[in-house]
Amino acid sequence: MTYTFTQSKALFQRAAKVIPQGIYGHFNPATTVPGFYPYFISRAKGCRFWDVDGNEYIDYACAYGPMILGYAHDRIDEAFARQARNGTATMPPSTLLVDLAEKMVEVNDCADWAVFAKNGADAISWAVALARGYRKRDKIVLAHGAYHGTQPWAGTNHIGVLPADRADVLMAPWGDANAFRRVVEENKNRIAGALFTPYHHPVFEPQALPAPGFWRDMRRICDENDIVLIIDDVRAGWRLDIKGSAHYFGFRPDLACYCKAIANGYPISALVGTDRMRMVAAKAFQTGSYWNNSPEMAAALACIDEMQKIDAAAICDSRGGELRRGLEERAAAHGLSFRMSGPNAIPFLHFTNESNFKRAQLFCRECSLRGVYFFWHHNMFLSAAHTEADIQKTIDVADQAFQIVKDQFGE
């Protein structure tokens, strides 16, 4: 079957008339290989989606992370729908608020309490406010290249950001505890919080796992200097470990932010914290119109239970391991320098002999034209719905794409 994108392109032209950019943010076609990828989908089930031209894909974007158990998952969707029939946004909240907070405390290693919002950025902004309120200091340390959302202080946007928005943000390289210590010493008693991802997953770059002792050192520096350690586990949360990525890497943050994999695609995020952060959390006024909606909470409870029951993190790791081995072996057989960096469940693909992504784009384009949805600019995601047969099919498609890269680039 030849993949064409006539309907996608026509729809995009309609979209561009009424929506700035047609599709905005990280869902914009510019993040793929425009012209060779679908712009709009019509349906998704399991680890597959079908675009508006009828093309079928094995999906490794997983909606940038929320899909962990498979699209249109019967159990999660039924939990959501059942609760929706009982009302969605109510005042006072439903009993599910308590059930879900109890579940978060039970599941998460570092949690004595939990609160809920909608997006990752909501939970992270809440955490930063709590760190400042707790320490009564201004400064926050972030890592170069880390993504924490589009809040002005997070440094991702360039439009509409004032110098004042970034005035209290200090930067340090990810993974270098000595460099972090130097930033802390240069700003003695002025840093409220350190906000880091559990491992480094920048865009346009290979990923980096923490070196042995890194998190132990970071924890110690924070403790010695009364700095609140905040973990942004929005992207990696629960794909590595149902107890949270901090547990996976063997340390305890003071605050942890979750979002994407909580409810298999239904909109909910969470901030969890330790007892010492409880008082300041009790004083802070943070809220949103839909933050206490009950159907998302029902979906989250079902999703967490299902993830525990099937050990979703272990499945993602195992399938991701098969994918990594298969792709690296096939690439090597073609004489190509190719590597998957980061955890098995959240890999980033790159050709190690290029920095302009030309090979990666051609590779992804040829995979897309054969029904495998890969990314070149951003890490990808495995889900518990990917089967061994899906991975095998993906490796066979990748083999053909590697051949095309070889023919065009020679190495």
List interacting residues with ligand PMP (CB under 6 A): 64, 119-121, 124, 147-149, 197, 232, 234-235, 259
**Between 57 and 147, whose beta carbon lies closer to ligand PMP?**
147
Q: Which is nearer to ligand PMP, 209 or 395 (CB)?
A: 209
SS (H, E, C) the chain: CCCCCHHHHHHHHHHHHHCCCCCCHHHCHHHCCCCCCCCCEEEEEECEEEECCCCEEEECCHHHCCCCCCECCHHHHHHHHHHHCCCCCCCCCCCHHHHHHHHHHHHCCCCCEEEEECCHHHHHHHHHHHHHHHHCCCEEEEECCCCCCCCHHHCCCCCCCCHHHHCCEEEECCCCHHHHHHHHHHCCCCEEEEEECCCECCCCCCCECCCCCHHHHHHHHHHHCCCEEEEECCCCCCCCCCCCHHHHHCCCCCEEEECCCCCCCCCCEEEEECHHHHHHHHHCCCCCCCCCCHHHHHHHHHHHHHHHHHCHHHHHHHHHHHHHHHHHHHHHHCCCCEEEECCCCCCEEEECCCCCCHHHHHHHHHHHCCCEECCCCCCCCCCCCCCHHHHHHHHHHHHHHHHHHHHHHCC
Instruction: Give min distance, CB of 346 to ligand PMP, in A.
Output: 10
Return the number of the residue (242 or 259) whose C-beta is nearest ligand PMP.
259
Nearest distance from C-beta of residue 399 to ligand PMP, angstroms? 30
Which of residues 202 and 273 has its CB atom nearest to ligand PMP in the complex? 202
CB of 154 to ligand PMP, least distance (A): 8
From the CB of 32, what's the least distance to ligand PMP, in Å?
16
Of 26 and 190, CB closest to ligand PMP = 26
Residue number closest to ligand PMP, CB atom: 120
Of 268 and 312, the one with the shorter C-beta distance to ligand PMP is 268
Q: Residue 23 is which amino acid?
A: I
CB of 64 to ligand PMP, least distance (A): 6
Structure-token pair, residue 401: 């794409």
Minimum distance between the CB of residue 65 and ligand PMP, rounded to whole angstroms?
A: 7
Q: How far is the CB of 56 from ligand PMP (least distance, A)?
A: 26
- Residue closer to ligand PMP by CB (options 256, 259) is 259
Nearer to ligand PMP, 11 or 236 (CB): 236
- Smallest separation (angstroms) from ligand PMP to the CB of 158: 17
Rounded CA separation 319/383 (Å): 8
